[in-house]
Structure 1
Amino acid sequence: MRANELERGRRRVGVAILGGVAVAVGWVAMPGVPVLRAPSAGEERKAEGEALFVRTWLPHDPLANADGLGPVFNGRSCVECHFQGGAGGGGTVEHNVLAFEAKPTEDRPEIAAGLVHRFAVANHYLEDLSDLREYFPIVPEAIRITNGCYVVVKDFDPVQTERVNSTALFGAGWIDRISGRSISRRNLARSIEAVGRELAADFDGIPPGRYRVLPDGRIGKFGWKAQFATLEEFVAAACANELGLGTPHMPQAKPRVELPYPDMPPDLDRGQFRSLVAFVDTLPRPEEVPPADLESRAEVARGRLLFDQVGCAVCHVPDLGGVAGIYSDLLLHRLVDRQGRSSYGDVLTGAPIPREHPTPDEWKTPALWGVADSAPYFHDGTSPTLRDAIIRHEGDASPVTRAFEKLDESDERALIRFLESLRAPSDAPPVPEPTEPEEGGLSIAMAD
């Protein structure tokens, strides 16, 4: 009798273990919850949001609940930088912003990041790179590791800067609804594939990249560094940093100058901010527009196959999390900086760099939907054509670049023609004619 009870106990334990394994396998295999419903909002709320998006803001603007535009800013309206293909599109290099990041030091254990603004409401609030020295001074003696040797670096500058281009916002609401689980499951599948290749002695594949885990544990989806988890956070940061408009979610940017600027209540109230987010959230998604004639359509179809064959689709995944035609895995990948700034780990400044934080050469894979109407390309907008952008891919994407360069002229043209079929939405809101400020005497200070 005792033996039978022990045997039944062992069986129950075995069943429990097998059940646990099955649950674990199922959890790994589950791709995440697909996006089943299109973004939506009431017409009145969207109309109010569009009016805020295209508005040319003023200091002490009558629509603002505080000091309005500024005190520091990069543009006077959202549409000033997001206009290609319609209101909400990408911007040109003329509207690039200067972003900076400061490595941690013994006196400042956290990474600092922000913008050096182009404009201010008064000259004494204008920012300059030299102003950053007050906040992030030169480290007199840092230590660099070179070939295993410790070398003292005189006057180490912890600040790195980068020109950043404005991305298109079409389809942003769909991206916002892609679950973090879908992103992490895709990354896990790619990691398993990479292990399989290496076990087969194939070391020429594309690394799987990684998703960015934010301090609160969520996965980042928006921004060139995947620094925002939601569209709402992205819009709040854009209002605060690009326009100087505070919202209930983020205060306005303050000038990094000696003269202090007082704290202000939000410029946009909760209702205004919800309307602005609703407008961006419901911007139409880009379209794949095949050519009208059969010969060109066949060339585009061949280009789509080549896009997959050379390896572009490994990172620019056509469908993700139930969203078709996005052409992104929303992961961080290394794209080796032309100036050689590849990592933080070779400089010891007295404070560790969080592993989750992107290195200088890691960038989130941009969605390619609508790419034909969003030139110039790359995070800094310095690749004027699609071909320029492709051959600039290094680092993780080096195998793809080499494969593309081996294509003959006909195949290369077909691949580019396919990318040219990925257009901005035909029903995008129109860009209004530029308007002059409603109040005379507006004086804006501009940095050199």
Structure 2
Amino acid sequence: MRLHRNLVYTTIDSLHAIFNEGEYADKVVARALKKDKRWGSSDRKFVAETIYDIVRWKRLYMEIAEVKEPFDRDDLWRVFAVWAVLRGYPIPDWRQLEGTPERKIKGRFDELSKIRKYKESIPDWMDELGIKELGEELWSKEIIAQNQPAKVILRVNTLKITKEKLRAILMDQDIETEFLKDQPDALVLKERANVFLTDAFKEGFFEVQDASSQLVAPFLDVKPGMRVVDTCAGAGGKTLHLASLMENKGQLIAMDLYESKLKQLKLRAKRNSAFNIEYRIIDTTKVIKKLHEKADRVLIDAPCSGLGVLKRNPDAKWKLQPEFIDNIRKVQAEVLENYSKIVKPGGKLVYATCSILPSENQEQVKRFLTTDTGKNFTFVKDVKILASESGFDGFYMALFERKEKKES
């Protein structure tokens, strides 16, 4: 087990882009993996996993390395040295790693591992917020679970293939998968693999979507032939799931504020052979008003803090700010108030977030039900998914039914 110079240099360059230039880790990793065509799968695995590892444990490693932001290259090498020592790599005699204090690093790690904000590598404000909203014990369990690397989960596109057939096709390419109990469309990869390079992906046989996220579309209880609106569609993971549950029958309207996201969704829909989707950019309030009381089902997959998906977005720990969470709560309240009006009497509404904070979830639901719009709805049930209990992303979803109008 030894370190290879070109892989480590790529890792250092990537960390510079993420920490000093504010780039997103997933984009930086994707670019890094294309750097050298001669790299084998184990080389690419080292680069991707090392970058994510150091991003995930940034605060702990910074504290051990005794460096502060903004990092110069020497600082990044010191942080890398901490990672290498703690992972058991022999330190090579490279100039940048000269004098690495191995015993001191291990001693500091043992010392800091007694303090949660260092041990779990989170900002002070996030630790305080987690305790306030979930309580000390549950927050501790949850942040430990959120620091585990995410598994790769596929959602089988039932418009094109069955779960069993897809599993067999992937098996032929040495990609082993397992079924997931109570998740009819999910396959879990036994080991990480770049599934986007497979013919099965190019032919639209599956999408990559976490197991918790795959529960949202079925919760809406759609049927073929309905008119369904996904109000915050984004790049459309849940929209595509709805299309397959509707068997391409009926009308599925995908809406978003950003045209660029809907363009991505169009490409994905084409690959998935999802043909019942219409695209609408929310550029004025008229777009929503035109649909008032017109839809059988409405999904509000609301913008949120993303504190349920730190597993797959570890850099969000450092990008998120407390002010953002205060603002996003206001946005959630407005979105719930405005977009719920699209549901017709007797129709159903789902409000969902990928957050674990009650202030973005149960409290939003409670507040909504006291508003003039919310009084037209009956709360049916909600589901809270915690990473510490499920092993997957943290998620929340609430189901409402719009009351029938009283005959005058």
TM-score, normalised to structure 2's length? 0.21
Between structures 1 and 2, the one with greater strand share: 2
* Greater radius of gyration (CA): 1
TM-score, normalised to structure 1's length? 0.20
